Structure formats: structure tokens, C-alpha cells
Amino acid sequence: MSTEQRDQLITEHVGLVYHVARRYQSHHEYEDLVQAGYEGLIYAASHYDGSTGFAFSTYAVTSIRGSIQHYLRDKSSTVRIPAKLQELCSQVSVAIDELSQRHGKAPTIPAIAQHLGILEDQVLQAMDANVARSTVSTDSEDSPVIGMQSTNTALEDFEDGEAIRQALSTLPETDQTVVKLRFFANKTQTEIAEDLEISQMQVSRILTRALRELRPLLGDT
Amino acid sequence: MSIALHLPAHAAYASVARSMAATIAARCELTYDRVEDARLAIDEAFNQVITNASVNAEVVCTFIEEIGAIEFMVQSRTDLEELLPTNTFSWTVLSALADEVHNTNVDGILSVIARVQESTNAAA
């Protein structure tokens, strides 16, 4: 899909963002909800595949709702990311996924900066903010979960594999899958993002959060 | 070129090492996922070293940058008399994130050395 087609989808369906945001409006800042929803709409427009037979609006509503729910979960974390920085984060996230799809590999930081017309420092700032957003896990991220039976073999190699298994079981299901794919199946973050149909920044966020949560449970295990 | 960072051996300072690793990895023209790997790797190494650091010891993080790769060493004085075990979850994480990783314990100085590089078929 061309950039023009993507932009047209966004323009034509921006009303969906307001529609979905209104449903969460009662206890939250409407503008922030719209901002989060808009992020979901951009993501949907960038990833929509018309050959699946689903209408774009169906796909977009799911993505907008997911994005707003992510925002509400992040809002409950102890770290408050300013709206402007969150917007930068969203732009960087979309750019990473777009450039990865276009070139078949993750982009460098200078390439992301050039694509967005911003400084490399701003890209790094967005990456820092993304990690900061990973502070608290309140629920699993919305994404499909795939089976990872093969990783159980790797866990058997550890003297205290059972402790690792138990610690992993305390994580949301998606987080468990991402940890297993990265550290036991040796998949790259880009490959995991493709497999689970989530953004690469989401994978980074999940890994950071998961390791932080596992560390006190496992000690030196 | 090498860059050294001296920090207290406390988990609160891991974020400083992480940010430095990401900045240097970006300068090395690593791709996004490798920059994030470098960030996570130094976090893991930093935590392993401070867990075994002597009281009031400082941590020295040394980075070596080159095009397509970042190498770092995290060191601290330790009371540990042997090497860090490598059959742990933490070491497995570190090994998955870095292309090369090992640790040394010489004259009471514990060092974790790791290298994260761009894969040959993923040049920018």
C-alpha cells in the first residue's frame, strides 16, 4: 500500500477514533484517548491487508480500541510520559515497522530519523520513553499468542528449570511467549513482531518489563 | 574509540548504563532491534555484576564502538572467588542478546564482557 493510500484510509476513518474514544470518556481526558486511538488508526492503516476480506473499519476499530486500552494500562503505571513524547514514540514505532517491511530488516537509528525528518537524539529519546512505559504490567498486551512447545526442551537444560517455568508462568501469556521466542528460540525482535503481529517497540517494551519482573523471582537461577 | 562510565554499584544506575549503551549502539549504525538488544544486554550484565560487587564498590562500564558492532565490559570489585555461573537464566538471556559473552574474575575484579554486532545479512 502506498503512503497516499494509507493517508487516505486514515483521513476517511478518523471519525472511528472519536467514536471509540467517547466510550472510554467518562473517567479520562478525552484528548489523550483520541491521541491513543489515533495511534491505533495509524497502525491499522499501515498494516491492513485487504486480501483478508475484512473491511478496514472492522480492523481499525479493533486496533483503535487496543491502542486506547494500552494507553489506559500505561496510564496506571508510575511513570507518566508527556503526551508529546508519547506521540513521538508512536511515530517512531510506525516508522520502524514501515521501514522493516519495506527493506525486510530493522532500520538503523539514523534511517528512522531521516524517514521522520527528526534528530537521531529524538529517536533515542522515544526509545527511552518506550522502555519507561514498560514499568508496570497490569495485563497482557493485546496480541495473538502462539504455541511454544519446543522451548520446553530448552528449559529442561537448566538445573532449576522448574523455578524458571514457575517464574515465567507469573507473566501475562503474551509476555511469556515473547520471552521464550527471544531467549529460548533465539528469534530476533523483528521476527517476533512479525510472528505475533505487534510492533517492534511493543516487543522491546515487553522484554524490558518481563526481565524486570523475572529478576527478583529468579535471583541467580 | 573507548568510552568509560563510573557508577555506584546500585540498580538505580542501570538506566544510565542502558542509555549510554543505546546511544553508542546507534552511533555504531546498529539496527533498531540490535540497539535494543545492546540496551537489554548491558542491563543484564550490570545487574549480574552489582549482585556480586563488594560493599561500596563502583562499577566501571567501558564501551568500544566500531561500525556494525558495540563491545562493552562491566567491571566491579568482588568478594566472589569463582566465575559467574553460566547455567543460569540470567546468563542465558545475556547469551541470547549478545553475539559473544564471557566473564572473568581476576585479582578480585569481576568483569562481564559482551559484544553485540549486526548480522552480516542485515546491514543497514
Averaged pLDDT for residues B88-116: 96
pLDDT in tens, A43-70: 888 888 888 777 888 888 888 887 887 7
- In terms of CA atoms, which chain A residue is nearest residue B38? A204
Interface with B, mutate which of A164, A202, A220, A221 (most B CBs under 10 A):
A220
Q: What topology does CATH give the domain A1-74? A: Rna Polymerase Sigma Factor; Chain: A (1.10.1740)
β-pair partners for B75: B60, B111
pLDDT in tens, A141-195: 444 444 444 444 466 666 667 788 888 888 888 999 999 999 999 899 999 999 9
Q: Do A221 and B89 touch (CB under 8 A)?
A: yes
Write down the domain spans for chain B: 2-117
HSE-CB at B73 with a 13 A cutoff on CA atoms is 14
A200 in contact with B, Cβ within 8 Å: yes
Are the folds of A81-133 and A157-216 the same? Answer: yes
pLDDT in tens, A64-91: 887 887 777 666 555 677 888 888 999 9
Q: Buried (b) or exposed (e) across A200-213, using 16+ Cβ within 10 A?
A: bbbbbbbbbbbbbb
- Cα gap B61→B70, rounded to integer Å: 13
- Cα gap B44→B37, rounded to integer Å: 10
pLDDT for res B40 = 96
User: Of A108, A204, A214, which has the smallest distance from its Cβ to B124's Cβ?
Assistant: A108
Q: Do B51 and A220 touch (CB under 8 A)?
A: yes
pLDDT in tens, A4-50: 888 888 889 999 998 888 887 765 677 888 888 888 898 888 888 88
pLDDT for res B64 = 97
Q: How many CB atoms lie under 10 A from the CB of residue B17?
A: 22
- Cα gap B22→B74, rounded to integer Å: 15
| Burial degree of A161 (CB within 10 A; 0-12, 13-18, 19+) | middle
Instruction: Identify the architecture of domain A81-133 in CATH.
Output: Orthogonal Bundle (1.10)
**What phi and psi values does residue B6 have, to the nearest 5 degrees?**
-105, 125
- Residues of chain A with Cβ-Cβ distance to B51 below 8 Å are 220
- A157-216 domain in CATH 1.10.10.10? yes
Q: Which of A64-73, A109-118, B30-39 is predicted least confidently?
A: A64-73
Reading the block at residue A8, the C-alpha cell is 487516505
Q: Out of 3.10.150.10, 3.30.565.10, 3.20.20.70, 3.30.750.24, which CATH number does the structure's domain B2-117 have?
A: 3.30.565.10
3-state DSSP of A158-202: CCCHHHHHHHHHCCCHHHHHHHHHHHCCCCCHHHHHHHHCCCHHH
ipTM: 0.91
